[in-house]
Amino acid sequence: MTRGTRREPPGFSDFVAARGTSLVRTATLLTHDHAAAEDLVQTALAKAWPKWERTEQHEAYVRKIIVHEFARGWRRKWRGEIATEELPERAHADGSEAVAVREDILRALAMLPPKQRAVIVLRYFHDYTEADIASVLGISAGTVKSHASRGLAALRISSDISDHAGRQS
């Protein structure tokens, strides 16, 4: 082994193969951009690598890094939404309503402030408890509740989501 090179930690590649898609999905929900999400996951994995053998909860640790990196860089990197007067028409290869709903949920999530978005993603897409979210984000459980409440309220009034809710009644 040459100086400065490290061997891959045991189980790292298996973890990436098994959980990589899920990690990118989480990052995509946060960034609303697949390429940025892949970069975010790559950064998180690179940061997790040196501490891999000392960590027991690998997935929770990597998700925590993803959320922290997102929150740290959101002002400069991931504010990619540009407001327009009219939304472009959507083209769906399979024409399914599910694809349209998914896109609308992603668009509505992207409109939330980063901390609210992180709370909503961790709570409702990954079933984290309020205490777990507080620990990951370094905020109090009360702040988690506040972010969740405000985020859900914003999602409820989002025209992107309410259009679909009205059609299902």
Mean pLDDT of 147-152: 92
pLDDT in tens, 41-64: 999 999 999 899 888 899 999 999
Q: What residues make up the domain containing 140?
A: 96-169
- Residue with the two structure tokens 């083209």: 91
Q: Are 74 and 117 in contact (CB under 8 A)?
A: no
CATH number of the domain that residue 25 is part of = 1.10.1740
State yes or no: pLDDT of 90 exceeds 70: no
Mean pLDDT of 141-165: 81
Token digits for 110? 């992207």
Q: Are 148 and 113 in contact (CB under 8 A)?
A: no
Token digits for 102? 């998914």
Residue among 60, 76, 58, 65 at smallest CA distance from 43: 65
pLDDT at 62: 94
State the pTM of this model. Answer: 0.60
Query: Is the domain of 103 the same as that of 61?
Result: no
State yes or no: pLDDT of 89 exceeds 80: no
pLDDT at 26: 92
CATH number of the domain that residue 150 is part of = 1.10.10.10
- Residue 84 maps to a domain: no
Average pLDDT value for the chain: 80
Mean pLDDT of 91-100: 59
Neighbours of 135 (CB within 10 A): 15
Mean pLDDT of 65-92: 62
Which residues touch 40 (CB under 8 Å, ≥6 apart)? 27, 30, 31, 66, 69, 70
Residue among 28, 13, 24 at smallest CA distance from 58: 13
